[in-house]
Amino acid sequence: MPKQLRRPNSTGSVYKLGGRRRKPWIAMLSQGYDREGKRVRKAIGYYSTKTEALKALAIYDISPTERPNVRFEEIYKEWSEDKFPRLSKPMAENYVSAYKKFSPIYNHKFRDLRTAHFQLIINDYEKTHSRSSLNHMKSLLGQMYKYAMMNDIVHQNYAKFIILPKQADTGRDAFTDLEVQTLFNHDTNHMVKAMLLIMYLGFRISVSLNLTVFDYNTEDKYFVGGNKTEAGKNRLMPVPPKVQPYLDYFLSLKGKTIICQPDGSPYKVQYFRNCHYEVLERLGIRRLPPHCYKHTYATMLSRLGTDDKTTSMLTGHSNPKITREVYIHKHLSDLKEAVKDL
């Protein structure tokens, strides 16, 4: 067997460490000399065989990286400290929750991780968590890879190859015209007033229940609110005349939040959800979740022929495709209307 050629000077070296080690071969990279003239070297990594170590050095020669030993948890810490100040609180909380699920790989070197590592973890949560939660996990990894690539820590985004399960039917839909009219027919009820007001304001439940008089322009009759995405933040939401009497009713209660309980105390989201389902059951309306208020809002705008740009501005979506494909629904009445003149 021919003798292996020496690597050129200053291109790194490979040697075997003493003792019993699972990965005894170390790949070292020369980084010049210090002030005292001593050679400065850093370890690229530890390997089971000499061949693996030499291959690591060869790859590093082609695509050198900074801080090759930085761990997953360190990348997250650096990225989150940079990113979180620019995110809404709910979005940051989503990322924190997603990060906790990756605890098995906190101490892994980021550059050693591959799609399979992430896929196994995501698969473990597939049966117990929603598609939205899994999507946040993948999104977090994508953000971390973007940060790592910008800082020459890695040169490939393995998160983009993750496969998420097929979107399950979440039961989200828009309330039908008949169901909405049923609510209007019972609008003497405090809770029904709240449900209709939220439905016609177009905000998410969490935003609606936190609106205060400081968010409302009494002269021009509009709210400023929204907090989930850049497109949804602080958008102007005019109050439809149809629900202005309900808004005036809640303003008269002088609660800490506009949409409040009869005694003026704020609603907590879970309590409001419980009351919402009680009303639907009592009135014989399908058990749709409160988020369907926003689906109904988008669907009503679509029926009125509102253009895509205006609809997206009102719903807080940067991409009109999201509004069209997710939030706008067609019921039998829409289909009959479409074919009536055929």
Do 116 and 251 share a structural domain? no
The whole-number pLDDT of residue 254 equals: 92
pLDDT digits (tens, 9 = 90+) for 272-291: 999 999 999 999 999 888 88
Q: 134-155 as b/e, with b when 16 or more CB fall inside 10 Å?
A: bebbbebbebbbebbeeeebbe
pTM value is: 0.49
Domain residue limits at 54: 13-62
Cα–Cα dist 72/103, whole Å: 9
**In Å, what is the CA distance from 86 to each residue of 144, 208, 230?**
15, 22, 10
Report helix, strand or coil for 108. Answer: coil
Cα–Cα dist 82/150, whole Å: 13
The whole-number pLDDT of residue 328 equals: 55
Do 329 and 231 share a structural domain? yes
The total number of structural domains that make up the chain: 3
The whole-number pLDDT of residue 168 equals: 53
Do 189 and 282 share a structural domain? yes
Write the DSSP string, 124-142. HHTTTS-HHHHHHHHHHHH
- Inside any domain, residue 7: no
pLDDT digits (tens, 9 = 90+) for 84-93: 988 878 788 8
Do 327 and 208 share a structural domain? yes
Average pLDDT of adjacent 10-residue blocks, the chain of 342 residues: 51 80 83 71 79 77 65 94 86 91 95 94 87 89 93 89 74 83 96 94 87 90 67 69 94 94 93 93 91 84 72 62 53 50 48
The whole-number pLDDT of residue 1 equals: 46
- E strand intervals along 82-240: 216-217, 222-225, 235-238
Cα–Cα dist 177/294, whole Å: 14
Do 328 and 225 share a structural domain? yes
The whole-number pLDDT of residue 119 equals: 95
Residue with tokens 């009219």: 181
The whole-number pLDDT of residue 339 equals: 43
Do 104 and 46 share a structural domain? no
The whole-number pLDDT of residue 11 equals: 59
The whole-number pLDDT of residue 154 equals: 87
Cα–Cα dist 322/178, whole Å: 26
CATH number of the domain that residue 138 is part of: 1.10.150.130
Do 197 and 86 share a structural domain? no
Do 49 and 147 share a structural domain? no
- Inside any domain, residue 170: no
Query: Could you tell me which of 243, 245, 242, 261 has the C-alpha nearest to residue 253?
Result: 261
Which residues are 27's β-sheet partners?
A: 14, 45
Do 140 and 48 share a structural domain? no
